[in-house]
Amino acid sequence: MTLAAAGALALAAALDRTLSEPPARLHPVAWLGRGVAALDARLPDAPAVGVGFAAVLPVAFAALLAAPVAAAGVISPAPAFAAAAASLVLFACSSHRMLLAVARDVIDLADRDLDAARRELRALAGRDATELSADHVRSAAVESAAENLADGLIAPLLGFVAGAAVGAVAGLPPAGGLAVAAGAAAWVKGVNTLDSMLGYRDRRAGRAPARLDDAVMWLPARATALLILAAGGGRAATESASGLRRTRSAARVPDSPNSGWPMGSLAAVLGVRLAKPETYTLLPAEELPTASEARTGVEVVSRAGWLGIGVAGVSLAL
């Protein structure tokens, strides 16, 4: 592929490390969320509406964010300008540092101020936390850190790498390949955002976005599980084939075809039970995570994220 794409990825990772998230008023994903909410309020809750959302909105979002990258290539023939624009798109469409910071805060608060931990958890997990114990709050933080690694970082990274590969195979100039890569990352983020807003069982308009997200996240979820197992490879729970075997067993428990993979891999690495009350329990023979185990889990997720960035960067540079 191209060194320009690898450079764009490196700059996006540096921006995430330095700035964490773009300001809300400038965040394209926040713009998409407001647009989806406005349309959802005006249109009927019908399957056809959901199909329209799934078919049109992620593509429109991808085109909107790819356009500045393509324009940068027109303005300057040097790929550095387009690479900088692509890095901003990837930065906006992925998240690593902020999600880990929120998970750490929830874990730290769980034993000091449980009500505050429950409130903070809402930024990570879409569940009613009002009755959760400190143990279950920690479990939710660990689960969310693992699942959000797949949704928030690995999926957009894979989209970016796949787009860059398509550009290279098509023989596009560097700026054109960067525009395709940025658009692919934005499309993946658009699909994830639609699912997070509409993909609930009681929403008829959410069925198509949810099924599309299931298909898009199939590979990222399993890649994330492998990254977590690799990042936690020094722990006893992952020796030989044990970690993968326990991950595969845990992954079958949730209704989602994908979310159990990153969560199950982290449960296997830590040797703990992860549970959403009255919904699922992963590795039920183990205990819920202690504060120390939960903190270790977040650090494993952090290492897995950096490992994923490294693998993606090497893939782009080859």
Query: Amino acid identity, residue 136?
Result: H
> What is d(CA 207, CA 25) in angstroms, rounded to the nearest whole number?
30
pTM for this predicted structure: 0.94
Beta strand pairing call for 280-282 and 274-276: antiparallel
Instruction: Look at residues 261, 304, 303, 301 and name the one whose alpha carbon lies nearest to residue 141.
Output: 301
Question: Residue 124 corresponds to which tokens in the numbers above?
Answer: 């990570």
CB distance 160 to 312 below 8 Å: yes
Answer whether 150's CB lies under 8 Å from 224's CB.
yes
Q: What is the pLDDT along the chain (318 residues), one digit of tens a residue?
A: 589 999 999 999 999 999 988 888 889 999 999 999 999 999 999 999 999 999 999 999 999 999 999 999 999 888 999 999 999 999 999 999 999 999 999 999 999 999 999 999 988 887 778 889 999 999 999 999 999 999 999 999 999 999 999 999 999 999 999 999 999 999 999 999 999 999 988 999 999 999 999 999 999 999 999 999 999 976 544 454 578 889 999 999 999 999 999 999 999 999 999 999 988 999 999 999 999 999 999 999 999 999 999 999 999 998
Tokens of 25: 């008023």
Phi, psi of 78 (to 5 degrees): -70, 135
Enter the DSSP assignment of 217: T
Each domain of the chain, given as residue ranges in start order, spans 3-317
**Quick check: 189 and 29 in contact, CB under 8 A?**
yes
Residue type, 119: R
Cα dihedral: 57, 59, 63, 64 (round 10): 20
Contact 274, 263 (CB under 8 A): yes
**At 240, phi and psi to the nearest 5?**
50, -130
